[in-house]
């Protein structure tokens, strides 16, 4: 009786939670474990950025930190046609949520993600969650995991990689149908690709049973959003594109090549005439979307900083 009531209540809560969730649905769209296996395969499988694990609102949040948290959600999972909902721990255990108190214990958005039957079989089963007492958000994976588009340097074949499996995309039309872009394809080693288990091919007739979100696409859009904001602020010279994340002392310059360059010291900033008072605060997500570039030191060339970004 209690489980039936819980299942019905969760169905209502799921619909409500989805309306509160601002981030897109994510995860794999193929057979195999939800997360990649250890070793070479895991190096191709994409995990979310560390900032995406920060989802629980706190009274100490600064404005940008709170704004970013409200765009994220704690992702929990339910297999199609099943009634059980699971939270995933940092130790890669699935714990069935058997109390609605889980969804009110913390100030966060929740996203109940529907996944393919058998998706969670590769995870160890932990103790069910029957009470919110003693629960620590730090013990759980809260952010989504995404798929990747990859190819090797010597082979034009492009693969969709989700979990520990790869699916070759046999026609260009697949990209257009699902809104993928070739500029988001990553180049990895042949060994990394061969370490993944090969699954069925992808074409225009493929029916996905789960939503697919590409990691590099998400990061590119974050970079584009920040770049556009810097342009609107008339920060057209590289030396004016100085940023930092709230709650962090690290200061970076955003370069035209899509990297963030850490300013190593105040001496370097002074020598290169960088005005650290004229910096823009950004979210952690936006900053982490840029790859780490060469640091800015006292030996850095001023000509690199005088470039005008179109």
Higher per-residue pLDDT: 302 or 79: 79
> Which pLDDT does position 284 carry in this prediction?
87
> Which pLDDT does position 305 carry in this prediction?
87
30-56 residues labelled b (16+ CB within 10 A) or e (exposed): bbbbbbbbeebbbebbbbbbebbbbbb
Q: Is the pTM of this model over 0.75?
A: no
CB neighbour list of residue 136: distance below 8 Å, 6 or more residues apart = none
Whether residue 277 contacts residue 41, with contact meaning beta carbons closer than 8 Å, is answered with no
- For residue 182, pLDDT over 50 is answered with yes
> Which pLDDT does position 49 carry in this prediction?
53
Please give the share of the chain, as a percent, with pLDDT higher than 90.
Answer: 54
Q: Which CATH architecture has domain 233-305?
A: 2-Layer Sandwich (3.30)
The rounded mean pLDDT for the chain is 82
- What are the backbone dihedrals phi and psi of residue 156, each rounded to the nearest 5 degrees, phi first? -75, -10
Domain ranges of the chain: 2-30+47-141, 233-305
Whether residue 123 contacts residue 92, with contact meaning beta carbons closer than 8 Å, is answered with yes
């Amino acid at each position: 009786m209690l489980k039936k009531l819980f299942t019905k209540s969760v169905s209502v809560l799921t619909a409500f939670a989805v309306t509160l969730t601002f981030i897109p649905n994510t995860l794999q769209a193929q057979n195999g474990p939800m997360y990649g296996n250890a070793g070479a395969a895991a190096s191709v499988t994409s995990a979310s950025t560390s900032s995406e694990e920060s989802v629980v609102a706190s009274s100490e949040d600064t404005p940008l930190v709170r704004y970013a948290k409200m765009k994220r959600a704690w992702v929990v999972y339910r297999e199609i046609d099943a009634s059980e909902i699971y939270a995933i721990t940092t130790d890669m255990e699935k714990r069935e949520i058997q109390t609605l108190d889980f969804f009110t214990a913390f100030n966060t958005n929740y996203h109940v993600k529907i996944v393919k039957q058998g998706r969670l079989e590769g995870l160890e089963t932990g103790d069910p969650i029957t009470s919110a007492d003693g629960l620590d958000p730090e013990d759980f994976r809260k952010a989504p995991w995404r798929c990747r588009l990859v190819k090797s340097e010597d082979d034009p074949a492009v693969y969709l990689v989700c979990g520990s499996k790869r699916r070759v995309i046999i026609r260009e039309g697949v990209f257009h149908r699902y809104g993928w872009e070739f500029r988001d394809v990553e180049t990895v080693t042949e060994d990394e690709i061969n370490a993944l288990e090969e699954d069925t091919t992808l074409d225009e007739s493929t029916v996905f049973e789960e939503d697919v979100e590409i990691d590099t696409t998400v990061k590119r859009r974050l970079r584009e959003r920040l770049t556009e904001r810097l342009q609107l602020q008339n920060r057209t010279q590289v030396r004016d594109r100085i940023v930092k994340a709230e709650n962090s002392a690290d200061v970076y310059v955003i370069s035209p090549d899509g990297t963030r360059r850490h300013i190593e010291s105040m001496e370097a900033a002074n020598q290169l005439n960088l005005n650290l008072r004229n910096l823009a605060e950004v979210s952690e997500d936006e900053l982490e979307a840029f790859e780490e570039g060469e640091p800015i030191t006292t030996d850095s060339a001023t000509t690199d900083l005088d470039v005008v970004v179109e």
